[in-house]
């Protein structure tokens, strides 16, 4: 893999879009100082995930954006894209299949940073993960700056050790060790905190245990009290139930008695109905007889009247005739007398008319005088009313003032009492200690808030760490699973190869195996197990040796003649151990290393690179000589042997070689699996520790939250109370102020009202004399009016008498005239009547005898009916008497029934009251979740209310003696006990975790020592190799300052050509730089990255040293792509591609193509 190009836009001085291609393995970037050359290296480091502004030569992460110049405005964002050629598939994972991979990073002025892989937005972690195992990274050895060389030069032994550790990859072990130590420290801290918590919890549990016991006893007593109350209620219900039964029995008796009275009433009503019917019948019979009696009487009366009428008519006619004649005579006399009276009355009327006129004139004069007096009286009344109205004002004012004074005095008295009450309440509020409690609660709340904030921050940190460690656990578990799968695959292959080898070596017959066993040769090493063949020639050796590879190595075949004589069955191959002599060049023997002499088999077999070369050399072969190719094609002067297919691939030596490789790989995988397992255990343990700590923090946070809620609730309540008290105090102050103002106003009003009262009283005294004068005037006026009224009345009476007399005389005249007219008419009618009556009298005859006979018959019938009527009257009177007796009895029964009914209603009301009380008790039992029947069943027979009430009082006294009870202590005790058990388990887990962490540290230390020693030796070997190349001779090596591989420092000992051995600090500047370069390249060669960037590392070197430095870089460029920044012409000449960076426009970098001469001139600017 190699870096193909860099695309920059808006990055530092590269404001315009710029593409820097790298087509070769040696590319140099040149340019004058300050033109922006190093920005290209910063761009690569930035895209690879560098987040530190200091390592990018800035102060903030937005400093990488072009910030403007004299002629350019700042830009809002910058982009850098790295394009990699991945045709060799160096990158792993999902991007392994891509021949070209681009990585782009963009940042804006808002601080928004984005990464893109092949145009797809990704995370920074995805970018760093992409380069894992490649040696690339923002701070890896693939980017070597002059500062790194300087730091190496000036490094102390302890600081130089850090570079060795980084090269060895120990940093992750140190990080793991540091994390493990931190875990141990935190675990110790957790243990200490846990111990403190457990001790405090023990004390709390002891206190809570006592409280819980009291609470349990309280609950037991309260339960017993509830049961006793229920039983007492049941006893009361039972008593009330008995009372209800008694009332029901009494009600039943009263109802029976009442029904008895009702029955008697109904019986009397029935009898009265019968008597009433008899009375009705008797009355009807009496009425019928009476009606006939009356009819008969009417008939008799009619007959008698008819007879009498006829007699009366005759007598009347005679009388009428006499009367009419008398009337006629009297009318004549009366007419004469009336005429005389009329004349007298008319004369009297003539005399009365002047008197009446005089009386009228006098009455009119007196009336006018009365009117004048009444007008004077009206004027006086007006003056009097005005006076009264004027005099009434001061009086009303005095009365109003008096009432107002009384009212104001009462109001002032009320205000005084109200003022005293307000002052007392204000003093109580000022003396209230709630303000101190509120201050304490505020301080406690603030303390809890701070503590909760700290715990929440710790909780958030632990949560974040928990997520990180969970991801790490999943990652480690995945890596472990992959390692296990890989180990399983390799182990399976190892077992297969081992089985194939064993099968190949165990093809002897049973006789051979028995012979080998009997001579202790069954476990002897075979020839194939003793061979080490150069890679690539395994098939050739197998072709030549063939079945001899299974030959059993013995010390000396000559010592086994007797044993060989006893060999009877099968095929046996033995070979003597012994070193082979010098191998002839270009023979197969040179490709084999063995403790057995194989020159007889392999010493005459010559090597050929391929079949064609072997065929060409075949003519040169001597007798017994042959040729063989790496593919196992074996040919002699006139023969050829070869093998193809699986047989060529599964030869014994190939399998043996694969077995050795697999054994090493399996060992490595087992170590890796063990490391991963330990890592996973450690991470899981740390995760559990974090989770435990998080649970503790969570519980602590919840407890703090509860305490906060309680304190805030109390604080809120106290604040409300304080606000209410403050508001109340303000209202009191306002009320007192308003009250004092009102009292002042009322006092002023009282003084003014008293003044008004005095003025009104003074005015009332002034009105007394005027009142008396007016009253005297009124009295005189009244007397005069009364006298005048009497005179008017007398005049009017006289006038009226005269008028009455006149009217009477006129009426008498009129009456006499009417009488005269009526008398005249009466005389005429009387004369006519006399004549008529005389005529009628002559027509009347005597009564008939038939009417007299009928009358006598009717009289006889009436006598008979009178007897019947008397009998019927007796029957009716008897029925009336009987009905009166029955009604009296009915009334007596009604009175008795009403009395019984009243008693019945009272009994029912009493029963209803008892039933209501009984129902109330039953409902109370149901509310208390007690079943009445069950409670009654549990009651002993001798139970009574008095004993149960006494028992209830005893229980109440026992509860009272317990004092304040914390009912939450039971649940809290259980909760804290559970927490104590949980904390005990955590303590055990933390103790076990400490053991695991200590074991992990021991293993990390062991691995660190091993890796550090191996890396130190490799780097030391590389330094010994590279130092003479850059110095043209001399010697350099690394030296440990102590024997402890965990803490030892590292010193560089160098001896340039012609000088004595010394530390690097005693060398010249150029020698220091060359030595540091040799050391850096030694470190770089341990894990070479696909490309390496060098930033003016040759600056301290002279031309000769630059030449050697350039040769070293050129030699290494065969495998590694180098991109370097230089000012040195010799380094420029080494480059296969030169690129120049200029800043013709101030503050803006541009890329130009240059040759070596131009580059030298450009660099010298």
Please give the annotated binding residues, written as ranges.
32-39
Query: How far apart are the C-alpha atoms of 146 and 238, rounded to whole Å?
Result: 107
CA atoms within 13 A on the CB side of 1077: 28
Query: How far apart are the C-alpha atoms of 258 and 252, rounded to whole Å?
Result: 10
1023 phi and psi angles, rounded to 5 deg: -65, -40
Nearest alpha carbon to residue 81 among 150, 14, 154: 14
Query: How far apart are the C-alpha atoms of 704 and 695, rounded to whole Å?
Result: 14
Place of tokens 């008693």: 903
CA atoms within 13 A on the CB side of 590: 10
Instruction: Answer yes or no: are the C-beta atoms of 1146 and 35 closer than 8 Å.
Output: no
Beta-carbon contacts of residue 383 (< 8 Å; ≥ 6 apart): 774
Query: How far apart are the C-alpha atoms of 735 and 419, rounded to whole Å?
Result: 9
- Please give the angle made by the CA atoms of 1049, 1051 and 1057, to the nearest 5 degrees: 170
The three-class DSSP label of residue 49 is coil
* Cβ atoms within 10 Å of 686's Cβ, excluding its own: 24
Query: How far apart are the C-alpha atoms of 1130 and 1107, rounded to whole Å?
Result: 6
Rounded to 10 deg, the angle between the 968-1031 and 1069-1086 helix axes is 120
Instruction: Answer yes or no: are the C-beta atoms of 526 and 573 closer than 8 Å.
Output: no
Residue 1058 region by backbone torsions, left for phi larger than 0, else alpha for psi between -120 and 50, else beta? left
Q: Is 641 exposed, middle or buried, given 0-12, 13-18 or 19+ CB atoms closer than 10 A?
A: middle
Place of tokens 């007699």: 311
Distance from chain centroid for Cα 981: 31
Residue 536 region by backbone torsions, left for phi larger than 0, else alpha for psi between -120 and 50, else beta? left
β pairing state of 1091-1095 and 1121-1125: parallel
H-assigned helices in 25-169 = 38-47, 124-130, 146-154, 157-168
The three-class DSSP label of residue 102 is strand
Instruction: Answer yes or no: are the C-beta atoms of 1090 and 1 closer than 8 Å.
Output: yes
Q: What is the DSSP letter of 313?
A: H
Nearest alpha carbon to residue 683 among 466, 892, 499: 466
* Cβ atoms within 10 Å of 1016's Cβ, excluding its own: 21
Beta-carbon contacts of residue 655 (< 8 Å; ≥ 6 apart): 497, 500, 501, 504
Which H or E run contains 264? Answer: helix 170-430
Can you spell out the DSSP letters for 81-92?
A: EEEEE-TT--S-
The three-class DSSP label of residue 621 is coil
Nearest alpha carbon to residue 876 among 474, 89, 276: 276
Beta-carbon contacts of residue 263 (< 8 Å; ≥ 6 apart): none
Nearest alpha carbon to residue 637 among 649, 626, 628: 626
Cα dihedral 470, 471, 477, 479 in deg (nearest 10): -160
**Residue ranges of the binding site for ATP:** 32-39
Distance from chain centroid for Cα 830: 131
Beta-carbon contacts of residue 349 (< 8 Å; ≥ 6 apart): 806, 809, 810, 813
């Amino acid at each position: 893999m190699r870096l193909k190009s860099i695309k920059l836009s808006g990055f530092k001085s590269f404001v315009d879009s710029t593409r820097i291609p790298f087509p070769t393995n040696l590319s140099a970037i040149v340019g004058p100082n300050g033109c922006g050359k190093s920005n290209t290296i910063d761009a690569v480091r930035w895209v690879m995930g560098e987040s530190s502004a200091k390592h990018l030569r800035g102060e903030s992460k937005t400093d990488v954006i072009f910030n403007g110049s004299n002629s350019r405005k700042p830009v809002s964002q910058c982009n850098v894209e790295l394009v990699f050629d991945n045709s060799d598939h160096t990158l792993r994972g999902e991007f392994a299949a891509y021949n070209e991979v681009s990585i782009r990073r963009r940042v804006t002025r808002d601080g928004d940073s984005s990464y893109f892989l092949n145009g797809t937005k990704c995370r920074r972690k995805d970018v760093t993960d992409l380069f894992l195992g490649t040696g690339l990274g923002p701070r890896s050895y693939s980017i070597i700056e002059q500062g790194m060389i300087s730091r190496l030069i000036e490094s102390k032994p302890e600081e130089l050790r850090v570079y060795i550790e980084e090269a060895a990859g120990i940093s992750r072990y140190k990080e793991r060790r540091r994390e493990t130590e931190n875990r141990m420290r935190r675990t110790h801290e957790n243990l200490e905190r846990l111990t403190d918590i457990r001790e405090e919890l023990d004390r709390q549990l002891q206190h809570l245990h006592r409280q819980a016991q009291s609470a349990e006893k309280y609950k037991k007593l309260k339960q017993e009290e509830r049961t006793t109350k229920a039983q007492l209620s049941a006893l009361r219900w039972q008593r009330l139930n008995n009372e209800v039964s008694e009332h029901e029995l009494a009600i039943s008796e009263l109802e029976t008695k009442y029904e008895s009275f009702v029955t008697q009433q109904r019986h009397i009503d029935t009898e009265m109905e019968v008597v009433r019917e008899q009375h009705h019948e008797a009355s009807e019979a009496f009425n019928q007889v009476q009606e006939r009696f009356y009819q008969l009487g009417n008939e008799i009366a009619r007959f008698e009247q008819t007879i009498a009428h006829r007699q009366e008519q005759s007598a009347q006619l005679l009388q009428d005739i006499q009367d009419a004649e008398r009337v006629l005579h009297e009318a004549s006399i009366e007419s004469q007398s009336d005429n005389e009276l009329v004349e007298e009355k008319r004369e009297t009327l003539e005399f009365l008319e002047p008197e009446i006129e005089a009386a009228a004139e006098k009455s009119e004069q007196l009336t006018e005088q009365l009117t004048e007096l009444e007008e004077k009286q009206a004027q006086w009344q007006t003056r009097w009313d005005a006076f009264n109205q004027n005099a009434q004002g001061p009086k009303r004012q005095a009365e109003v003032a008096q009432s107002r004074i009384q009212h104001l005095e009462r109001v002032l008295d009320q205000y005084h009492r109200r003022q005293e009450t307000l002052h007392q309440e204000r003093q109580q509020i000022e003396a209230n200690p709630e303000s101190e409690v509120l201050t304490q609660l505020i301080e406690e709340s603030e303390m809890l808030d701070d503590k909760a904030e700290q715990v929440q921050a710790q909780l958030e940190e632990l949560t974040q760490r928990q997520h990180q460690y969970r991801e790490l656990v999943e990652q480690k578990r995945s890596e472990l699973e992959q390692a296990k799968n890989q180990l399983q695959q390799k182990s399976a292959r190892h077992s297969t190869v081992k089985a194939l080898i064993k099968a190949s070596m165990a093809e002897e017959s049973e006789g051979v195996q028995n012979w080998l066993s009997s001579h202790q040769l069954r476990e002897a090493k075979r020839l194939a197990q003793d061979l080490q063949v150069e890679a690539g020639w395994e098939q050739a050796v197998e072709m030549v040796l063939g079945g001899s590879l299974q030959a059993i190595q013995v010390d000396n075949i000559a010592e086994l003649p007797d044993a060989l004589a006893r060999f009877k069955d099968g095929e046996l191959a033995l070979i003597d151990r012994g070193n082979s002599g010098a191998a002839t060049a270009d023979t197969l023997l040179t490709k084999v290393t063995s403790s057995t002499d194989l020159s007889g088999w392999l010493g005459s077999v010559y090597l050929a690179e391929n079949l064609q070369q072997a065929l060409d050399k075949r003519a040169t072969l001597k007798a017994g000589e042959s040729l063989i190719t790496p593919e196992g094609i074996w040919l002699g002067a006139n023969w050829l042997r070869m093998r193809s297919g699986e047989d060529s691939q599964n030869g014994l030596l190939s399998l043996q070689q694969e077995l050795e490789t697999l054994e090493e790989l399996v060992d490595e995988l087992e170590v890796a699996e063990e490391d991963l397992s330990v890592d996973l255990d450690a991470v899981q343990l740390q995760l559990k520790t974090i989770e435990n700590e998080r649970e503790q923090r969570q519980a602590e946070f919840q407890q703090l939250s509860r305490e906060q809620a309680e304190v805030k609730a109390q604080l809120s309540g106290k604040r409300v109370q304080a606000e209410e008290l403050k508001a109340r105090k303000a209202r009191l102050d306002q009320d007192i102020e308003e009250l004092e103002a009102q009292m002042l106003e009322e006092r002023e009003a009282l003084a003014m009202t008293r003044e008004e009262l005095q003025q009104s009283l003074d005015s009332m005294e002034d009105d007394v004399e005027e009142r008396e004068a007016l009253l005297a005037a009124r009295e005189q006026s009244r007397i005069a009016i009364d006298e005048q009224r009497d005179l008017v009345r007398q005049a009017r009476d006289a006038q009226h008498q005269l008028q009455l007399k006149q009217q009477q005389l006129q009426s008498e005249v009129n009456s006499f005239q009417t009488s005269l007219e009526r008398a005249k008419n009466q005389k005429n009618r009387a004369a006519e009547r006399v004549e008529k009556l005389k005529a009628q009298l002559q027509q009347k005859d005597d009564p008939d005898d038939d009417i007299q006979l009928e009358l006598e018959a009717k009289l006889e019938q009436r006598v008979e009916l009178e007897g019947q009527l008397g009998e019927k009257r007796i029957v009716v009177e008897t029925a009336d008497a009987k009905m009166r007796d029955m009604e009296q009895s009915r009334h007596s029964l009604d009175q008795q029934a009403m009395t019984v009914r009243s008693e019945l209603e009272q009994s029912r009301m009493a029963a209803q009251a008892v039933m209501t009380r009984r129902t109330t008790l039953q409902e109370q039992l149901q509310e208390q979740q007690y079943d009445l029947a069950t409670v009654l069943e549990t009651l002993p027979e001798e139970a009574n209310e008095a004993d149960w009430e006494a028992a209830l009082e005893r229980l109440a006294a026992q509860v009272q003696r317990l004092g304040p009870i914390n009912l939450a202590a039971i649940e809290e005790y259980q909760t804290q006990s559970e927490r104590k058990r949980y904390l005990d388990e955590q303590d055990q887990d933390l103790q076990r975790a400490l053991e695991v962490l200590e074991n992990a540290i021991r293993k990390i230390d062991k691995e660190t020592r091993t890796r550090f020693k191996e890396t130190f030796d490799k780097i030391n070997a590389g330094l010994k190799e590279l130092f003479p190349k850059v110095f043209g001779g001399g010697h350099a090596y690394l030296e440990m300052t102590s024997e402890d591989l965990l803490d030892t420092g590292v010193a560089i000992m160098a001896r340039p050509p012609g000088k004595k051995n010394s530390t690097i600090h005693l060398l010249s500047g150029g020698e220091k730089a060359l030595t540091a370069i040799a050391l850096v390249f030694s470190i770089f060669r341990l894990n070479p990255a696909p490309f390496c960037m060098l930033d003016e590392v040759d600056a301290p070197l002279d031309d000769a040293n630059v030449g050697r430095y350039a040769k070293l870089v050129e030699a290494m460029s065969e495998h590694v792509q180098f991109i370097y920044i230089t000012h040195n012409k010799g380094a420029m000449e080494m480059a296969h591609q030169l690129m120049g960076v200029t800043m013709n426009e101030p503050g803006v970098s541009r890329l130009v193509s240059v040759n070596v001469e131009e580059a030298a001139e450009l660099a010298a600017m």
